Amino acid sequence: MLQLENIHKSFLGPTGAVPVLAGLSLVVQPGQLAVIEGPSGCGKSTLLFIAGAMSPPDKGTVQFDDVDPYALTPAARNRFRANRVGFVFQRFHLIPYLDVEANLRWPLRWCADPGKHIPRILELGERLGIRHRFAHRPAQLSAGEQQRVAIARALLGDKPLICADEPTGNLDDESAALVKDTLVQETRRGRIVLLVTHHKEWAAYSQVRVRLSSLTQGA
């Protein structure tokens, strides 16, 4: 279970602290898809990074399966995130000098038995329509193909929490439908999917919805 309690977060602006999240609480159970909605600049990605052990809140607590990642040492938190959280970033963050298959294998270096995940790499490659691109580097792919590679990478390693920042933002309608189906299937495998989006159609797939405004006082 993912639980955020009384989360506050501010950033330093030209005239001082700019509050982004104020008193937000959220609970997401295994097997649920949680959608975070709201206008640009309202703190959607900030909330995603806090939930995924990437950025500590100024105030409040994060618990994932009874572990507070921000109570861990930095090294332990890195290991926690590497083994338990899959990220889909807006800017993909693929390694430019590695081909697609090597990009997918890269996160598995943290796994005790990387070889057991090879069938899953092939499965996701076929499902997301990128299997024929395994020998290509990111610069040789379209933006939509890079996004699908990033999604496949996040899903590898059987991590129980998937944090996705606009995962269909660069995709055509057919590819977007494929990604939606893929992420919904992951929830059926017991994973939590926490997803930021501007697209209202995601609401039909979700069990939890969080609507943020320019300053959030609660979920």
- pLDDT computed for residue 218 by the predictor: 40
User: Is 80 exceeded by the pLDDT of residue 52?
Assistant: yes
**Do the domain assignments include residue 218?**
no
**Do the domain assignments include residue 168?**
yes
Nearest Cα to 67, choosing from 87, 85, 43? 85
**Do the domain assignments include residue 111?**
yes
User: Is 70 exceeded by the pLDDT of residue 215?
Assistant: no
Q: Indicate the burial class of 13 (C-beta count within 10 angstroms; 0-12, 13-18, 19 or more).
A: exposed
* DSSP tag of 212: -
Task: Express each pLDDT in 65-117 by its tens digit.
Answer: 999 999 999 999 999 998 899 999 888 899 999 999 999 998 887 766 767 77
**Do the domain assignments include residue 216?**
no
In the chain, the percentage of residues whose pLDDT exceeds 90 is 67
CA dist 1 and 192 (Å) reads 8
Residue 140: give the domain boundaries. 2-211
**Do the domain assignments include residue 88?**
yes
Domain count, the chain: 1
CB 185 within 8 A of CB 16: no
Ramachandran angles phi, psi of 56, nearest 5°: -70, 145
Task: Express each pLDDT in 131-153 by its tens digit.
Answer: 999 999 999 999 889 999 999 99
Average pLDDT over residues 4-23: 89
Nearest Cα to 53, choosing from 25, 27, 20, 77? 77
**Do the domain assignments include residue 106?**
yes
CATH of the domain at 50: 3.40.50.300
Task: Express each pLDDT in 154-164 by its tens digit.
Answer: 999 889 999 99
